[in-house]
Amino acid sequence: MTLKPVLAALDDDAAPLTHHQLRELYTLMVAVRHLDTAAVAWQRQGIIPGYAPELGQEAAQVGSGYAVDRVRDFVFPTYREMGVARAMGVDMVGYMSTHKATWHGGMYNPLESRFAPIQAVVAGSVLHAVGWAHGQTLAGAQETGVAVTYFGDGASSQGDVHEAMNFAAVMKAPVVFFIQNNGWAISVPTERQVAGGSVAARAAGYGIPSLQVDGNDVVAVFEATRSALAHCRAGNGPVVIEAMTYRRGPHSTADDPGRYRTLDEERLGAGEDPLERFKQRLLADGVADEAFFAEAQRKAAEEEETIRAGIADLGPRPGAEMFSLVFQEPTPALQSQATAWREESEHA
């Protein structure tokens, strides 16, 4: 079951992206590329303890995040959706606080940003998204919000994903399952862990419409996501999108991709850089010129430095926060410890 025929009627009136929007997409992709590259360097410098790069996945993340309605919808990310967060206007110092281990889930406000706390459990965010989406159905809201849950080709083999898809299909939950197939489940290539070679093809088993899209084409990703959101909003149940892209760097800053693939394999698999590809399209269509691209690079570098300074200024959080924010019902021992902590602080 493919998505295009199912959504043709819903998408007929969708306006094409304006020149301004196309330039904004490029500006976002440049900002994400700069910040992603910088974050790897920050880990090497000891500014943050760990980071999961997304080099090569900028189009998939920015294109999908740009389509989200930040009033109605809610995004449920993994640990690799910095580009989605940036496209949705999430405070990036607050976002990066998780990578600095200053606070779990990020110091941004999930309710205001419509971007749930970062989820490190593989496929964990998928269950949360379906639960939120089902809540929208139960509430019977006239302006239905849609959950968008991100996960990779590796996470798609988790049992949680299959349970979530089945439940969402049965209950017609308004949720978009957005898979970034970057070719690798850490060190295992997709063809060795996804039966049939396609995650999108699995959707048919649950009666869910699906679409496999070029994940390195930011406009194609945006249009696919916009159509999927319209499908869900109309009460038609969930949609699966598989964005085909490539992880150009390591799985995380603790990973050495040279142990499982050669540089030649990486170059062949990665294909054309999504950022350069979009730049050439904008030039060919007369949407932007070299002065625009230079300014976008300058602003991205400036933003990167501002975020770096903000991260460096993050101090440790008060230890007593765990008693009010971590435990819903503290044990007697923890309550006693909290009392002792407060008394000690008052007399310090």
Catalytic (active-site) positions? 247, 251, 260
With b meaning 16 or more CB within 10 Å and e meaning fewer, what string describes 174-205?
bbbbbbbbbbbbeeeebeeebeeebbbbbbee
What the block records as the tokens of 122 is 């593989």
Residue at token pair 């949705």: 88
What the block records as the tokens of 228 is 């999927």
Q: Is 159 exposed, middle or buried (0-12, 13-18, 19+ CB in 10 A)?
A: exposed
In degrees and rounded to multiples of 5, residue 107 shows phi and psi of -100, 5
In degrees and rounded to multiples of 5, residue 147 shows phi and psi of -85, 135
Report the distance separating Cα 115 and Cα 106, nearest Å: 10
Query: Helices in 68-158 by DSSP H: which ranges?
Result: 82-87, 92-96, 110-113, 124-139
Report the distance separating Cα 343 and Cα 323, nearest Å: 14
Strands (E), the chain: 74-76, 147-152, 175-181, 184-185, 188-189, 210-214, 239-244
Candidates 291, 288, 287, 343; CA nearest to 320 is: 343
